Structure 1
Amino acid sequence: MSMNTLLEVSGVSVSFDGFKAINNLSFQIAPAELRAVIGPNGAGKTTFMDIVTGKTKPDEGRVLWGEKSISLLSMNEAAIARAGVGRKFQKPTVFEDQTVSENLMMALSADRGWWSVLWFRPKAENRDRVAELAEEVGLLDQLPRLAGELSHGQKQWLEIGMLLAQEPRLLLVDEPAAGMTPEEREHTTDLLVEVAKTRAVVVVEHDMEFVRRLNCKVTVLHEGSVLAEGGLDHVTADPQVIDVYLGR
C-alpha cells in the first residue's frame, strides 16, 4: 500500500445466502480526498460501507488502513471507529432532547471510557472546540436549540459535526442530500468539500446533480464490483454505466 493511500480494499467478496453482494471489489482512497460512490440498488454500496466499518466480515480479500497497512478485518466495529473511520447513516441519529451544544459535547467525550464520561466536566477548551465544530458545520447560531427543533438538513449537519468531534481520518456518508431543501443541499456540498481538504470523505449518493456539485472522482458499483471510475462526465458517458444505471 502506497504512502498516499489511506484505505485500500483489495479483492473483497462477500455472499449472503448464495447471493454475491460484493464480488472481487477493489477500492482505494487518499488521506485527503473526496469520492462519490454511485450505482443501482443492490450494487453493493451499503455492504461496502459495512465491510469497511466492521459490521460485515467478507469471505475473502483485504482491507488495509493507514500508513502501517493495518488490517481492518481483524478489528471490531468499536476498534475501527477508534482507528479513525466515521460513518454517517442516511437517517440522522442525534439526541433530540439535548441541545446542539450538548450533542457536540457528548461526541467530544465519547472516546473516553464510560466512567470518565459519567464524570466528564467540560473545560474551556472543550467549549471552544464545540463552537469550532458548530461553526464548521454551519450551526454556530443554533447551539442553545434542542436538536429535535432543527430542520432535517440541520440535523444532518449536527451529526456530521458529532462525527468530526471524533477526529476521523475517513468519513463515510450515506445519501446526505435525501430530503433536503435546495439551500440545505448547497450547504451540505460546501461542507463535504471543505471537510475533504483535511480527511478522506466517501459519499454514497443517488442524486446526480448533487454528485456533480461535489466535483470529485466517482466510483460506479454494479453487482458488487467497480464498473467504472473517473470524473462524472467520464463515467456517465460509459455505455455500460448508461445500460445498468442511468438508462433505467
Structure 2
Amino acid sequence: MTIGGEVTSALLYLDDVSVTFDGFRALNRLSLSIGANEMRAIIGPNGAGKTTMMDVITGKTRPNTGTALFQARHDLTRLDEASISQLGIGRKFQTPTVFDMHTVEDNILLALKTDRRPFPVLFSKRTREEKERIDALLERVRLTASRHRSAGELSHGQKQWLEIGMLLAQEPKLLLVDEPAAGMTDQETADTADLLREIAKTASVVVVEHDMVFVRDLGVKVTCLHEGSVLAEGSLDAVSANERVIEVYLGR
C-alpha cells in the first residue's frame, strides 16, 4: 500500500468509504481525516451517515468499499470491535451506560485498563497506582465530590461525564462521542465543552452533535455530512454560511 503524506499525518483516515444496507447507501464514498490531538465536530441531518461512520470506525459495520486506517497502519476494515477497542478507539453513545448500583468510584475502577473481572476487582485491595489513577480521572470529569454516590443517583449530565471517565480509564487515542450535550442543563453543557477541550489536549475527539450553540463553544473544525458524504468542512461560520448546508440542514 502506498501511503501519502495525508495518511501518515492522520490518526484516523477514511477514504472513499461506502456502506449499503438493502439498497440504501448509508455512506457514499466518504473521505475524512482526523489528526492527532484534534477535536472535530460532525454535524448533519438525520440519515446523513454519522452513526454509520462511527460504526465503521469501531468495527460494528464493515464497509462495502473504501479504506479505513488508524495510525496509518491498522486496517479497521479487517479488525473486530474488540481488537479496534484495544488499539485505543473508544466510543460513547448518546445514552450513558454506567453501573447504576455501583458507586462512581467503582465504575471508574471497573473500567481501568487492565484485565479485570468484576468480583476480584471490587473486593480486592486497590493498589496505590489505581487509587492515584481513579483520583485523577474523577477530578478530570468533575466527579470527585460524588465518588461515593451510586451512579444511579447522578444527574443525566453527570452520568455522561462518568461514562466519559470510564472511557478515559481505557487510555484511548481516539474518542467518539455521540451527542454529549443532549438532555443537559446549560451549565452542564458548558462544563462538557470545557471537558472535551481538555481531553483533546492528549487524545483525538470526534463529537457528533446537533446543538449548534454547543458546537460553537467547542471552537473546532466542523464537518457536515449529507447523504453519506462530506457536504462542507471548515469553521462553524463557514459551514453555516454554505448554501447547501442551509438548505438541507440548518434552514433559514
TM-score (norm 1): 0.96
Instruction: Give the counterpart of 2:168 among 164, 171, 175.
Output: 164
3-state SS of the aligned residue for 2:10? coil
3-state SS of the aligned residue for 1:158? helix
Q: Is the 8 A contact 2:110 2:116 kept in 1?
A: no
3-state SS of the aligned residue for 1:63? strand
Deviation at 1:119, TM superposition (A): 3.6
Counterpart residue identity of residue 132, structure 1: A
Q: Tell me the residue number matched to 1:127.
A: 131
Instruction: Give the counterpart of 1:60 among 21, 46, 65.
Output: 65
Pair 1:181-2:181 in alignment: no
Deviation at 1:4, TM superposition (A): 2.6
Deviation at 1:69, TM superposition (A): 1.9
Counterpart residue identity of residue 10, structure 1: D
1:184-219 deviations in whole A, cap 9, x for unaligned? 001000000110011100000000000000000000
Q: Distance in 1 between matches of 2:21 and 2:76?
A: 21
Instruction: Give the counterpart of 1:80 among 65, 68, 84.
Output: 84
1:47-76 deviations in whole A, cap 9, x for unaligned? 00000000000000010011x421011110
1:67-111 deviations in whole A, cap 9, x for unaligned? x421011110000000000000000000000000000000015x4
Q: Is the 8 A contact 2:44 2:224 kept in 1?
A: yes
Q: Tell me the residue number matched to 1:51.
A: 56
Cα-Cα RMSD: 1.2
3-state SS of the aligned residue for 2:145? helix
Counterpart residue identity of residue 76, structure 1: D
Q: Is the 8 A contact 2:30 2:228 kept in 1?
A: yes
Q: Tell me the residue number matched to 1:223.
A: 227
Q: Distance in 1 between matches of 2:200 and 2:103?
A: 27
Counterpart residue identity of residue 99, structure 1: T
Q: Distance in 2 between matches of 1:153 and 1:113?
A: 27
Stretches of 4+ aligned residues off by more than 3 angstroms: 117-121
Give runs of aligned pairs for residues 12-161 of structure 1, distance below 5 A: 12-66=17-71, 68-108=72-112, 111-112=114-115, 114=117, 118-120=119-121, 121=124, 122-161=126-165
Q: Distance in 1 between matches of 2:90 and 2:183?
A: 22
Unaligned runs of 5+ in 2: none
Deviation at 1:151, TM superposition (A): 0.4
Pair 1:208-2:212 in alignment: yes
Counterpart residue identity of residue 165, structure 2: G
Counterpart residue identity of residue 29, structure 1: I
Task: Report how many residues are paired.
Answer: 244
3-state SS of the aligned residue for 1:6? strand
Counterpart residue identity of residue 9, structure 1: L
Q: Percent identity?
A: 58
Deviation at 1:247, TM superposition (A): 1.1
Unaligned runs of 5+ in 1: none
Q: Distance in 2 between matches of 1:4 and 1:40?
A: 30
3-state SS of the aligned residue for 1:177? coil
Q: Tell me the residue number matched to 2:12.
A: 7
Deviation at 1:112, TM superposition (A): 1.0
Counterpart residue identity of residue 59, structure 2: G
Q: Distance in 2 between matches of 1:24 and 1:214?
A: 27
3-state SS of the aligned residue for 1:57? coil
Q: Distance in 2 between matches of 1:207 and 1:119?
A: 41
